[in-house]
Structure formats: structure tokens, C-alpha cells
Amino acid sequence: MRLILGFLAALLTTAGLAPAAVAAESRPVYSYADAIRETAWVETGTDNDHDGKPDRVAADVIRPAARVRVPVILDVSPYYACCGRGNELQKKTYAPDGTPVQFPLFYDNYFVPRGYAVVLADVGGTNRSSGCFDDVGSGTAVVNWLNGRAKAFDAPGGGRPVRADWATGNVGAIGKSQDGATAIGMAASGVAGLKTIVPIEGVADNYAQLVANGAPLATPENTGSSFTYNERAAELCKPFEADLKARAGTNGDYTAYWQSVHYVPRPGQASVLVAQGFGDWVVAPGQFAGYWDALGRAGVPRKAWLSQAGHTDPFDLQRTQWVETLHSWFDRWLLGLHNGVEREPAVHLETAPDRWTDVRTWPPATLPTTLRPSGDGTLGLRGSGTATVADDPARTREDWANGVGAARFTGAPLPAAVRIAGTPSVTVTVSSDKSAARIGVALVDYGPAQLRNTAEYGSGVRNLATRSCWGSSTGGDSACFLDTAADVGSADHRIIAAGWADLGHHASLRHGEPLVPGRAYPMTFGLTALDHVVPAGHRLGLLLGGTDGLLFDPALPAYGDTLTFDLARTSVSLGLTKPEH
């Protein structure tokens, strides 16, 4: 039957009809070698670099040569020239005449033969784009062009008009990390034509990514996007970057700027296939948890891939399953094929290295539990005493877990395995002997285990020497990528959740205040989201510390403070349930 459908699809291609008209899934009936490769410079309607000309985003296009209108898979990125994409750090390459040759990752190799176009757009000011780093503006301009609402040209300046008359107007935005954040922002903008997004380890709340509850994670000099700029933008965009930093502020206050780039309250209506690792310390899983909840409240069709890995792509976790899921997802939302993918279990969850299960909801129903530390070093239902910590920015949360640089409290060995899932929160009551203080809190599973190596920003994945192929290749763009395997090691503990804050923002994130030395302040804030099974015999631990040397920029001021925690008024709240498997 599949052969018959593929044959009919090929016949209909000659008549200018997409294979979606008959096939249960899109089939590889178009030539990748003969695909059209071109660049359109899309006007964004802004002049962020103040050169007196409209900014133009370079959109590199690869599409079937057949006379057929196709949907678009779009990845908007600042990394195509500076840093590369994927485990092999692939960059765009071009022929001497400027025609695109290599499109990083497998999207073009796999999907173009199946009746899609793939468009890789350079964020403003990066690679071949003019303008400055307005990632969402860059992406929405390309969507507008694909829907006939924006102008594009065949040269970075001047040139002849280019129309996307080959596009159906249906667009799916995909990408990892910054690219995923851009896709989330594009959905929040409500741009017409964006039908679905696939954010992989993407940021939905930029404040939480760069400021930990009032505590800036880096100095202004070490934040921003200037490292991705092309030579021209590096100079012209200095005023643009200075304005962004001024609007963001340097004191950790939640300003109007941060509110404008907080996408969780306005998730949009495009369907969402989201991927997140619970071992990701680059884009913490709290970014996923808040966004996932917002999608549910808004009634947006959603699906999630949740792993125990770090900052990595599902393509490097379960390659076959991920490609099949992505294929079905794009067929459903961009080609309109009713394949039932939206009725499948909503969450594909890794419970242990390479052990996966499908569940209908996340987080699961849990029993709310509050644990309290005591001065004797125990963790239980009641707390008492005090703990004193001298803040040392040279110490990291891993040092804390090993008993150095923080107060450590552990519970009794668990009589049975317990699953902790959702977003824990902590309430601390603490004083400082200085007028400013940072607080760090971590939840630890103490006990021997085989785990993905994600401590200190590890990905939990390693490359192999072999390759597998996902689509069609040319001499300049191979569809064959290094195979991967779980990077697993033995550990005697794992930090499973953590959170940080500036004590001066105890009353409000909008306005911090100097501390009165010696005065105790209560503060409640969330830890990173998790889904973790603590085995029987393990102990649950709570760490109370100050500046985390793994998180905060060493160039930040060192306060030299000593913290005193009132343990009777300090607790961690989490959700517990029985492991499903």
C-alpha cells in the first residue's frame, strides 16, 4: 500500500499537487540533488543598526525544484557563522557565487525530498544579515515574506525583488537553545502563518535565564549577543546593545524590558513540540515547566520529549524515534495530514539512561511534602537551630554537595523508591552581616547510581566513530551524522534541583533593597523543575549556600558576607509519588 501511495504521489507531483493530497505521510518523491538553493534578503521594517537603510535578514532557502507549493521548516539562528549547529558544529557554506551549499543539520536532507522547503535565516547582524540582534523580529519578518507581507531581494543591498510564490504560507519554526528561544518568541508574537514550533532546550523567560530571582548572573560586559555579530554589526550595533542593557538594568530588578521578553504569559496559538533535559544546566528545566503549564492553560496542542540528559538535541538521544516524531508532527501541522500525532501520549519521558516511557500528562499527580533542616545536619518534617555559611564565590554547588562551602542536611535512608516531579520551592529565613547577599539552594540525591554525565554542564551524550544517514546527500551537504550514545558514569550523588536568589529582592523582584546587617529576611523562590526517582536506600539532601561558582560570573562583585539561616523557618516543598516503572 505504501508503494502505491508513493507512486500516486509521484504522479500528482507532475501535475503540481503536493503529495499530502493522497499520502498518510509525506514521502521522499522530490530530488534533493536538483533542489533549488537560493538566498533572499528579507526586509524587517527596522533600521536597528542606524545606517539609514532597512535591515535585511539573509534567509537561505532550499526547496524542491518541482512546480509545487510547499510549507517551510524555519530555523532562525545567530550561530551559522560563529559557532555552528549540532554535535559536529556545522556551519553554513557557500559556493563562490554566494549560493548556499551546506545547510547544517538534517532538516534539509530529510524533509526537502518529502515536499518541504527548509529556510535557515541569520539573525540580524549575524553572518550575512544586516541590522542588529532582534531575533524575534528577524524570524517574524521571514514568516511575513513567506506569506507575501514583506519584501525580499536577491542581494544584501539593492537587488531585484524575490517573491516566495512557491510557499504555501505554513511555517514551522524549530531550533535548539537560542534558536528555540526565538521560536517561542515568534509564537508569542502571534505572527500569522506560524503553525507550529519545535523549541529544543529553549528559553521562554529571559529574565529567569539571565537573572536568578534578583541576582544577575553576569556583568553587563559579559552578557548580550555581541560575540555572534559580523564585523559590520560589531561596530554599528554598539548603541543598540547599550540601549538593551540600559533597559534591562544591572541591579536585578524585573523591569518593563524583562516583561516584554517573558513569553510564558502569552504562549500564542501555534502548536508546540518541546524538548527538554532535566540535567540541563545551560537552559534550566524550569524554563520548560512554566511554559508547558501555560500551553496547557491556553489550550495549545502540545507534546514534550523529556530526557535526563543535559543541553542536547533529541536527535542525539533516540535518533529514529525523534525523526519519526518530527516527521509526523510537521506532516500534521504544516501539510494538514490527519495522522493522529496529537492524540498520542503527550509526553515521551526518559526515566533512566536510555529507558523511556510514554505518559499522558506531566507533571504527575503528587503528594505535596515539606521537609525542614535541623542544626544537627538532619532533614525531616521538623526543623530547628541555625546554620552559618561564609559565602565563597570560588566554591560551586558540586563542592557544596561534597560538604564544602555550604550547610548540608540529609534525611534518613529511604525505605522505598520515591519519584520527585514538578517544580519544588524553597523558603529560607536568613540574615547577612553585609548589606547584600546571594543565596543558593540545592536538592541532592545521595547514593550510588549510574547516571548520564550532566554535572558541570555535561551533555550526557558522547559521539561515536560511526555515522548514520537521514535523508539524501550531495557532495557539499551530507545527510550522514556521527552516531551517539549515552555518556554514563558512576556517581555517589546527583544534584537534582537548585535555585538562587538575591536576598535584597526578598519582598519583590521589581525592586531590590539594601539589607540591614543582622536582620533576618524570609524569601520564597522556585528551584529547577525535575522528574527524578530516588532509589530505596538513598538519602535526600538539602544544601544551603551563597554564591554558586558554577553559575555566577567570576567578574561579579564578591560580597564577602556571612549568612545565618534560621532553620526553624527554612523549608523545601516538593511533590512526591511512587515511580511508575
We report the CATH number of the domain holding residue 524 as: 2.60.120.260
Report the number of distinct structural domains present in the chain: 2
Question: Which of 313, 332, 359 represents a domain boundary (last residue)?
Answer: 359
Has 532 been annotated as catalytic? no
The whole domain housing 566 covers: 367-577
Is 38 part of a structural domain of the chain? yes
Do 542 and 505 belong together in one domain?
Answer: yes
- Does a structural domain hold residue 17? no
238 found inside a domain: yes
Please identify which of the residues 122, 280, 477, 566 carries the catalytic annotation.
280
In this structure, the answer to whether residues 156 and 196 fall within a common structural domain is yes
- Percentage of residues of the chain with pLDDT beyond 70: 96
CB 135 within 8 A of CB 44: no
Distance (Å, rounded) from C-alpha 368 to C-alpha 380?
Answer: 14
* Joined grid coordinates for residue 530: 525535575
Q: Judge whether 6 lies within some domain.
A: no
> Which cell is 168 given?
504555501
Task: Annotate 119-131 with b (16+ C-beta within 10 A) or e (fewer).
Answer: bbbbbbbbbbbbb
**Residue 12 located in a structural domain:** no
- Shared domain for 543 and 476, answered yes or no, is yes
pLDDT at 579 over 50: yes
221 has pLDDT over 90: no
527, HSE (Cβ side, Cα atoms, 13 Å)? 29
Residue 453 and residue 347 share a domain = no
Residue 4: inside a domain: no
Query: Is 20 inside any structural domain?
Result: no
**Is 124 in contact with 57 (CB distance < 8 Å)?**
yes
> Helix or strand or coil: residue 552?
coil
Is residue 44 a contact partner of residue 138, using CB atoms and an 8 Å limit? yes
Indicate whether 321 and 430 sit together in one domain: no
| 510 and 397 belong to one structural domain | yes
The per-residue pLDDT for range 168-192, each reduced to its tens digit, is 999 999 999 999 999 999 999 999 9
d(C-alpha 225, C-alpha 127), whole Å: 13
Residues 515 and 372 in one domain: yes
Catalytic position from the list 60, 138, 311, 506: 311
Average pLDDT for 552-569: 97
Q: In which band, very low, low, confident or very high, does the pLDDT at 1 lie, cut at 50, 70 and 90?
A: very low
- End of a domain among 359, 381, 409? 359
- CATH number of the domain encompassing residue 221: 3.40.50.1820
Q: Please tell me which residue in 26, 77, 130, 177 is annotated as part of the active site.
A: 177
Q: What is the mean pLDDT of the chain?
A: 95
Q: What is the pTM of this model?
A: 0.94
**Using CA atoms, how far apart are residues 376 and 287, in angstroms rounded to an integer?**
35
Quick one: 389 and 335 in the same domain? no
In a domain? residue 1: no
**Separation of alpha carbons 272 and 36, rounded Å:** 29
Rg (CA), the chain: 25
Pair (158, 271) in one structural domain? yes
pLDDT at 154: 97
- Could you write out the DSSP letters of every residue in 178-203? HHHHHHHHHHHHT-TTEEEEEEES--
Instruction: Kindly tell me if the per-residue pLDDT of 17 is higher than 50.
Output: no
Residues 379 and 453 in one domain: yes
216/194 same-domain check: yes
Active site residue 177: yes
Per DSSP, which regions of 327-385 are E strands?
A: 347-352, 355-359, 367-373, 379-380
* Residues 498 and 464 grouped into a single domain: yes
End residue of a domain, out of 309, 334, 359:
359
Q: What is the mean pLDDT of residues 6-17?
A: 34
Active site residue 311: yes
Kindly tell me if the per-residue pLDDT of 8 is higher than 50: no
For residue 226, give the C-alpha cell. Answer: 555581541
